[in-house]
Structure 1
Amino acid sequence: MGPLISSFPSYLQGGSPLAYGIAFLGGILVSFTPCVYPVLPVTVGYIGSRSGGSRRRAFLLSAAYAVGMALTYAALGMAAGLSGSVFGETTAHPLAYLVLGNVCILLSLSLFDVFHLPTPAILPRAGGPGSAPRGMGGAFVVGLLSGLVVGPCTAPVLGGLLLYVGASGHPVFGATLLFTFALGMGLPVVALGTFAGLLSNLPKAGGWTVKVQRAFGVLLLLAGEYLLLEAGKRLV
């Protein structure tokens, strides 16, 4: 795990396929954190209410939702990459590594419940059966908005990715990396929306979702420590 964490910034800056694989896997795992996981049945219920019992239509609606959400995250990645390209020299400065490292550690503390990031009150109602128009266009719009609504739940992990993308200074890479991350988040929705019967087999949120959250906390903590070590090296 240590070599992987220490090499991750170089993967990000070089656009390595491994970075996309890690981002996609991270998106899947984020879906099973205590904040995001309870929204899955609500979202799948919205898709099921508009599929008319057709598995093909359910798949298309789920895919439209996932792509909509992914585009929202891609826009965030593009913005982070643009900010990094504008301040390229700043992000290479030891002080930038020091700040980024401390922010990663701060975000990791929220995953250990040292403090709680606020979540919007609308979250439990996101994607409700009466909250959006029908059709693929409606599912796409709900996906776009869900990217914003669920954003605070993914803030620690998303923030870590945005920090790395900003340091890379590559807007296109940032957009595609965050798009891939969000597709990972959308994969459970596509699977559950297409095969509605799987929903009844989902385990209830509990200790296992907390463990997933804690695992992300450890990864962010390690990433923050790595950035602090890099800051120390650059200051010497």
Structure 2
Amino acid sequence: MQHTIRFFSLFFLLVVTLFAVEKPKLLTPEEAFNVTATHSNQGVMINVTLGEKIYLYDDKISLELTQPKTLDMTQWVERPKAEYFHDTLTQRKSFELFVPQSLLDNEVKKGSFTLRFSYQGCSEMGICYQPMTKEFTFKLKGGSATPLSEQDTIAQSFMSGNSALVLLSFFGFGLLLSLTPCVFPMIPILSSIIVSQPSVSMNAKKGFWLSLVYVLAMSLAYTIAGVLAALFGANLQASMQNPWIIGVFSAIFVLLALSMFGFYELKMPSFIQNRINKKTGEAQAQGVFGIAVMGFLSALIVGPCVAAPLAGALIYIGQSGDALLGGSALFVMSLGMGVPLLLIGTTAGRYMPRPGMWMQNITAFFGVMLLGVAIWMLSRIIPSFVSMSLWAVLIISSSIYFGALESFSEQTKGWQKVLKSILFMALVYGVALLVGFLSGATNPLAPFEKFTAKEGVSASTSSTLFTKIKTIEELNLALKNAEKPVMLDFYADWCVNCVEFEQFTFSDARVKAKLEKFTLLKADVTKNSDDDKALQKAFTIYGPPAILFFKEGKEVSELRLAGFKNADEFLAHLEKVGM
């Protein structure tokens, strides 16, 4: 009897336990997909919360503006990277979609607007839901847009749909950028190529075509590097700033310069040259290919600069994935940057002097220029006092080489006296650099900084005002502990505009006084390490210089700067936004 009772008791407990186990519950559509939206001064935030074991088909997600006009906004709104599930791209975690207020103001202007969010998803239990939509209506008042940074304004211009106007604008941007230090080092490189050509066959037409090959290759390099940086975060220009690459390229310039001084003649072995010269077309093709390679590498190694137009194009490509229009804009901008190079190449071909002593001096002059480019590039990877000494040696030696200390003769012409005066001033400057080097100065533009700086503080010490951070964690900690607004400067030794900020903007007494109101942080991304890449990716920075401003731990995006600003422009920027 006891065994019977025990058996039924166990059976009863087993049945109760089985029925007590909670079966998986099939969620209703409202439980599976909770979609809400809020509107603020910054824009519209759409929150998509997925239930347990619920996922969305990525290709079924769309966002449309339906009132006051119809516009597909899916490509303008960034969402998390999709992941494969059952061989299909899906969204398996809750996420947010953000529609910037600037985009709404550009398309709506004022009044009410309606956004329609469409989606379809399934449960991992094997049940799929019908396609669904959610509509949200908000009221937009005229003038409610938040200010945009310069690069964001340029990125918005792509959305106008007028491709011709965008490309024309970027050509104009390129013309303006051609006046920046990023292009200057390419002038002696191209000029030395023109000068090294046989003077008999050189004319304006050939000079133009050689320059065009160089500029087209340079533009192609900028375009490829830009598109890669925007689509994949692979900054090709930053990768080319490796010390070994810089050293090798500088050595090439030194070898080219020495050949222009007549120490030796750079040419292919005679048996190869004779074989090639049998076919004139092949010989010309070889020369054109070499110039194209030089133009391509020059863009990547010599002039890696980021300015507002470039940043705007990269933001557009990164957000929309439209590499065609964005890449075309970058190519056209690079052509604008190359206009001065085309003019110099054409005029050098037209006015190429006849063979003789004058031609030898011109060739030697461009040899000096190439040595200057080599020192300028090496200054990115060697101590500043070493580059200071190299500049002193180059300027003193070249001044003496061209006759700065030679006496006048009765046959000396007036223009020769003017030239000798310039050479003598260059010699004096070279001596000043040497004195500055011996005194411990590091800035070639201020060789007497150790003697003229007030209270022993030199212009180059502006960087000591900044606290360096390397990782996102260090930045977050600094933002958390900051008692004042924060300014974050993205800097690299190989970035010309970054060095200009240090030497001309941050060292200005008025700027220093204004910056006392900030907690100053600096992210040195010279080495392009994994931490450097992660920090730049977190803020969609495609390369230095970039300056970000934070209030209460959050970035004030409209204050972001890309590219160089002098002291007056920088102060005006701070005043404009009330900082």
Match of 2:158 among 12, 24, 37: 12
Percent identical pairs in the alignment equals 32
Residues 1:39 and 2:186 are matched in the alignment: yes
The match for 1:62 is 211
Residues 1:135 and 2:287 are matched in the alignment: yes
Q: 1:38 to 1:225 in 2, by over 3 A?
A: same
Distance, in Å, in 2 between the alignment partners of 1:21 and 1:193 is: 24
Distance, in Å, in 2 between the alignment partners of 1:182 and 1:127 is: 28
Letter in 1 for 2:322: H
Distance, in Å, in 2 between the alignment partners of 1:168 and 1:28 is: 26
- Cα drift, residue 26 of structure 1: 2.2
The match for 1:109 is none
Distance, in Å, in 2 between the alignment partners of 1:127 and 1:3 is: 48
| 1:86-134 CA distance string (max 9 Å, x none) | xxxxxxxxxxxxxxxxxxxxxxxxxxxxxxx999564693995669996
Letter in 2 for 1:10: Q
- Cα drift, residue 3 of structure 1: 9.2
Task: State the TM-score, normalizing by the size of structure 1.
Answer: 0.58
Residues 1:22 and 2:355 are matched in the alignment: no
Say if 2:191 and 2:344, in contact at 8 Å, map to a contact too: yes
Say if 1:43 and 1:128, in contact at 8 Å, map to a contact too: no
The match for 1:183 is 335
Say if 1:77 and 1:171, in contact at 8 Å, map to a contact too: no
- Cα drift, residue 138 of structure 1: 1.4
Say if 1:66 and 1:183, in contact at 8 Å, map to a contact too: yes
Distance, in Å, in 2 between the alignment partners of 1:194 and 1:168 is: 39
Paired residues for 1:205-220 under 5 Å: none
The match for 1:167 is 319
Distance, in Å, in 1 between the alignment partners of 2:182 and 2:227 is: 25
| 1:75-94 CA distance string (max 9 Å, x none) | 1243245449xxxxxxxxxx
- Please state whether the residue corresponding to 2:306 is helix, strand or coil: helix
Task: State the TM-score, normalizing by the size of structure 2.
Answer: 0.26
Say if 1:80 and 1:162, in contact at 8 Å, map to a contact too: yes
Return 39-48 or 130-139, whichever deviates more: 130-139
- Cα drift, residue 47 of structure 1: 2.3
Distance, in Å, in 1 between the alignment partners of 2:222 and 2:287 is: 22
Structure number with the higher helix fraction is 1
| 1:185-227 CA distance string (max 9 Å, x none) | 21111111001259xxxxxxx9xx97xx98xx9x998xx5177
Q: Computing the radius of gyration over CA atoms, which structure comes out larger, 1 or 2?
A: 2
Q: 1:80 to 1:37 in 2, by over 3 A?
A: same
Distance, in Å, in 2 between the alignment partners of 1:82 and 1:27 is: 22
Structure 2 residues not aligned, in runs of 5+: 1-146, 234-240, 260-265, 269-285, 353-444, 446-496, 506-543, 549-556, 562-579
Q: 1:60 to 1:51 in 2, by over 3 A?
A: farther
Distance, in Å, in 2 between the alignment partners of 1:21 and 1:220 is: 28
Structure 1 residues not aligned, in runs of 5+: 85-116, 199-205, 229-236
Q: 1:126 to 1:181 in 2, by over 3 A?
A: farther
Paired residues for 1:79-94 under 5 Å: 79-80=228-229, 82-83=231-232
Say if 1:51 and 1:58, in contact at 8 Å, map to a contact too: no
Paired residues for 1:196-235 under 5 Å: 196=348, 225=558
The match for 2:222 is 73
Task: Tell me the C-alpha RMSD between the 2 structures.
Answer: 4.5
Distance, in Å, in 2 between the alignment partners of 1:60 and 1:127 is: 25
Letter in 1 for 2:174: G
Q: 1:51 to 1:71 in 2, by over 3 A?
A: farther
- Cα drift, residue 45 of structure 1: 2.2
Say if 2:316 and 2:322, in contact at 8 Å, map to a contact too: no
- Please state whether the residue corresponding to 1:137 is helix, strand or coil: helix
Letter in 1 for 2:217: G
Q: 1:126 to 1:82 in 2, by over 3 A?
A: farther
Distance, in Å, in 2 between the alignment partners of 1:43 and 1:21 is: 26
| 1:127-158 CA distance string (max 9 Å, x none) | 95669996212111111111211342x23454
Q: 1:118 to 1:33 in 2, by over 3 A?
A: farther
- Please state whether the residue corresponding to 2:176 is helix, strand or coil: helix
| 1:8-47 CA distance string (max 9 Å, x none) | 3232243632322232222222222234324313322222
Residues 1:195 and 2:347 are matched in the alignment: yes
Structure number with the higher strand fraction is 2
Say if 2:149 and 2:560, in contact at 8 Å, map to a contact too: no
Q: 1:191 to 1:150 in 2, by over 3 A?
A: same
Distance, in Å, in 2 between the alignment partners of 1:132 and 1:166 is: 44
Q: 1:195 to 1:179 in 2, by over 3 A?
A: same
